[in-house]
Structure 1
């Protein structure tokens, strides 16, 4: 596929005029179908009838390549013209980097992969931004039954829609998922049998890097995460983590390492600037955490940022870059190194509520003792030890957060 992307970008040359709707002209589309061998049929004949191709949008193979080149940052649209991106020129000469860019770009291509028409809207396409990362995390664990991937896509997409014919809609969602797997096979990202799907080594390396792993010899950050105002004991965790991850991925890692349940909104504060998940649930001026790397947030040893989980209870954490190390052979990052203190229960009311919770549990005669034991889902008050850090459980949670 990268060869087709390279050929398409070279064809764009100094620029190509687009239609008023921003699509390739029909004359250019006809030439590209032959040049790129997209598999599209111009003016298809069915029986004795010829159906004239009236727009490049009727050519799904060509559209996929054109949108892929845009998503990979090879070309862009400026004032009705398709132009090459000058900064991307080195990619065209580096097959490995071009492949990685094209693989990463897939996550932004829901409309091209699952085009809408007047009779059918793809559930997988509509929720692709949620399904794609979940698929990659599942595939990152090794060979996966294809049936499990279909089920995963259905479980993510189906709750958002009213199911008029669940059996048919489930079948069509499975067909859409199979179409995506076919694209991955064609680009060399997936090995597929009738029963299982397995990422190729190149795809596995790209996925693992996006999830926070690092190749031997690359920089690794040692960070310490401390829950502000926690005492007796101070609640903290130490992690080894790739600086190349984005800070939205850092959120997933922090939730797992600390022990939070990931049921609430969160924010990062970097040099006085707020970063978070762009959400209609709040009216705050925040920047997109998906576009900022940890290396940009923590530039050198000794620097710190703040992470707030649950804007109601306001659990604030200090994240300090303690040291910059080097990734070791055979180690999968991120790694939980050490820590102390139990994670407070969700929705306990912040630090003040947590102190009251501990006070009540410690006093069997307190009026609220039995109520709090029941609320926390405990068999007895002794079951919760604020000084106990369940290290192995936290490591398992971190591994499942991939």
Structure 2
């Protein structure tokens, strides 16, 4: 089965925070969301939405969990990447955390039919911002307070985050987590049989 090589860039942050990864085209958009959470370093604590052309794809509420959704929102669990017939150069947006509104630009870099271990992270730069830090403007303020011991919020930031290196990205650790995620999905699939 064909796989996509995608590059994801966090919008509104300089220097750029990015990852390149490979994903099977038979993955759903919900799977893509979970894989993005891992490769970026998010904690999967908020809602999300994909935007491609005029389409919006996200998590639909079930009967027990009600929240306001766009009437045009399509179910991320039922649409596979292959359904969109993505081509090299195509882009889509991934919005994570509607409060902080983290925008991610995804670009299809390559389509391959070679057998590969998917998902796999192929590269990246810089650490993902901490959850709930206020989006891109809040992250800039966070970094200022982190770097400056005289900043009025420096101690509060240190107590909140303890250790944080904005330049740190560990591709090996990311791939270990992706492998654990994939193993968990395989075990779940076998249990359902």
TM-score by length of 1: 0.43
* Cα offsets for 1:89-130 (capped at 9, x unmatched): xxxxxxxxxxxxxxxxxxxxxxxxxxxxxxxxxxxxxxxxxx
Cα displacement (A) at 1:287 = 0.9
Aligned length: 177
In structure 1, the residue matched to 2:5 is 222
In structure 1, the residue matched to 2:18 is 236
More strand by share: 2
Of 74, 79, 101, 1:287 maps to 74
Q: Which secondary structure state, in structure 1, belongs to the residue aligned with residue 129 of structure 2?
A: coil
Which protein is bigger by CA-based radius of gyration?
Answer: 1
Structure 1 gaps, min length 5? 1-217
TM-score by length of 2: 0.87
Q: Which secondary structure state, in structure 2, belongs to the residue aligned with residue 359 of structure 1?
A: helix
In structure 1, the residue matched to 2:88 is 301
* Cα offsets for 1:37-71 (capped at 9, x unmatched): xxxxxxxxxxxxxxxxxxxxxxxxxxxxxxxxxxx
More helix by share: 1
Q: Which secondary structure state, in structure 1, belongs to the residue aligned with residue 149 of structure 2?
A: coil
In structure 2, the residue matched to 1:318 is 105
Verify: 1:397 aligned to 2:182, yes or no: no
Of 228, 234, 245, 2:27 maps to 245
CA–CA distance in structure 2, aligned partners of residues 316 and 298 of structure 1: 23
Verify: 1:338 aligned to 2:123, yes or no: yes
Relative contact order, CA 8 A, sep 6+: which one is greater?
2
CA–CA distance in structure 1, aligned partners of residues 39 and 69 of structure 2: 29
| Paired residues of 2:47 and 2:96 also in contact (CA < 8 A) | yes
Cα displacement (A) at 1:292 = 1.2
CA–CA distance in structure 2, aligned partners of residues 295 and 227 of structure 1: 24
CA–CA distance in structure 2, aligned partners of residues 229 and 269 of structure 1: 17
Following TM superposition, the consecutive aligned residue runs of length 4 or more in structure 1 with deviations greater than 4 angstroms are none
Cα displacement (A) at 1:257 = 0.6
Provide the aligned C-alpha RMSD in A.
Answer: 1.3
Structure 2 gaps, min length 5? 183-193
Q: Which secondary structure state, in structure 2, belongs to the residue aligned with residue 401 of structure 1?
A: helix
Cα displacement (A) at 1:284 = 1.9
In structure 2, the residue matched to 1:54 is none
